[in-house]
Amino acid sequence: MASHKERFADKMEFPPEIEQPNVYPLSWESHTKKLQEVWEAALRENWEPEKLPWDTLDVDSYSWEEREAIAYWWTLLSVFDASAPPVFAEALIKTYEVHEEDPVRKCFFSVQRDEQNHEIMCGLAITKLLGHPDPITYEPKTELGKRLQKNTKWLYFNGSRYWTGYKQAVPKYSLAVLFSSFLMGEIAAATIFKQMYENSREAVFKEGFKNIGRDEGRHMAICMAVMERDYPKIAEETKAVVTKQIRAGYLFLSAVLFEPPMEFWDLPEDFIANQREAEEVARMAGFGIPTYEAKLENWKNAMLNLKGVLDRYNIPFPAIPEVGITGQEVSDIDMEDIIPVF
Ligand SMILES: [Fe+2]
Ligand SMILES: [Fe+2]
């Protein structure tokens, strides 16, 4: 409202119209049954990262190189998962501002809670493995550890630029656009955590991956339900934005699900070599990071999955030559356009 000081009550019987978007609805409409079901599942499937069997993790059974390599993967994940609570908090506010129906608000609240759990899980793993709660101020014990810390600093720098772009993007886009970006992250996340679960031998990590993977599956269901609700009436100009967002999302999420494309990620030349070396060390120590080929396969399937969804609504899919998918060429990607999350 323009001014809180202006008085109306002595001039009129009922208050004036409220300017929109305004922060909250005073209504509890409920139309999408699927979303209510997902909300109830989220309550049922609640878990606490702190209560996982951490006492079974004997960090001394690993070499320092292995500890630093596994901690590096959790750190890489944190670049996405530690930004997820504020990212979804921002999205949750948006669902209130646009007066979304009650089950959408509840589902977004549950996503935020889940992402907080994922972030807590990352923090616990890193703290135990490094014996230090912060991978940036940690003093590396090995030569590989030193190079990985340099990688971490660059990842973190890139993540900070993403946050600025995201904050500018959220008010610009409708929920329909936001959901296409979210869905992309969720499809990919659900797959990778399933693989990490299957291929990791440490009980506490397995348990964590199982829970995170289940959460991501619910997030995917939320996105699908909202898209099914909104996409049949999506505007033509919105479709073009979705196509662009998908390409941007591919570039952004590739950093954790595949390998970071240098056209988008501002990273030093030795970054990928260091990361590959760490992944190999972690794999040999029984930590289930998929191989390059498995990641490629994964990522491609996730993209094809998403393409299947967009095809249903005649939304053109972008070309993703990196994984062999042809489609509409999207070139002018820059940070301001990025809104995907993990
Ligand atoms: Fe997550
Ligand atoms: Fe998620």
Q: What is the pLDDT of residue 196?
A: 93
Q: What is the pLDDT of residue 247?
A: 87
The answer as to whether 22 is a domain residue is no
Please provide the average confidence, as pLDDT, over all residues in the chain.
91
pLDDT at 339 over 70: no
Predicted confidence band of residue 335 (pLDDT cuts 50, 70, 90):
low
Higher model confidence: residue 173 or residue 99?
Answer: 99
Q: Which ligand is nearest to the CA of 88?
A: 2
The answer as to whether 250 is a domain residue is yes
CA distance 194 to 220: 14
The answer as to whether 50 is a domain residue is no
The Cα-based distances of 132 to 68, 125, 139, 291 in angstroms read: 11, 10, 9, 28
- The DSSP symbol for 289 reads P
For 160, the domain range is 59-337
Q: What is the pLDDT of residue 212?
A: 96
Query: How far, in Å, from the CA of 211 to the mean position of ligand 2?
Result: 12
Query: How far, in Å, from the CA of 275 to the mean position of ligand 2?
Result: 24
- pTM here is 0.92
Query: How far, in Å, from the CA of 226 to the mean position of ligand 1?
Result: 19
Predicted confidence band of residue 66 (pLDDT cuts 50, 70, 90):
very high
pLDDT per position as a tens digit, 301-325: 888 988 988 999 999 999 999 888 9
257, 192 Cβ separation under 8 angstroms? yes
Report percent pLDDT > 90 for the chain.
62
Q: What is the pLDDT of residue 334?
A: 56
Query: How far, in Å, from the CA of 2 to the mean position of ligand 1?
Result: 39
- The DSSP symbol for 17 reads P
The answer as to whether 267 is a domain residue is yes
Q: Averaged over 191-206, what is the pLDDT?
A: 93
CA distance 65 to 142: 6
Higher model confidence: residue 189 or residue 40?
Answer: 40
How many domains are there within the chain? 1
The answer as to whether 161 is a domain residue is yes
The answer as to whether 311 is a domain residue is yes
Q: What is the pLDDT of residue 215?
A: 96
pLDDT per position as a tens digit, 131-166: 999 999 999 999 999 999 999 999 999 988 888 778
The answer as to whether 202 is a domain residue is yes
Q: What is the pLDDT of residue 309?
A: 87
The answer as to whether 37 is a domain residue is no
Q: What is the pLDDT of residue 298?
A: 86
Query: How far, in Å, from the CA of 89 to the mean position of ligand 1?
Result: 13
pLDDT at 332 over 70: no
Query: How far, in Å, from the CA of 78 to the mean position of ligand 1?
Result: 9
Q: What is the pLDDT of residue 14?
A: 97
Q: Which CATH number characterizes residue 75's domain?
A: 1.20.1260
CA distance 257 to 294: 10
Query: How far, in Å, from the CA of 3 to the mean position of ligand 1?
Result: 40
Nearest CA among 266, 294, 289 for reference residue 278: 289
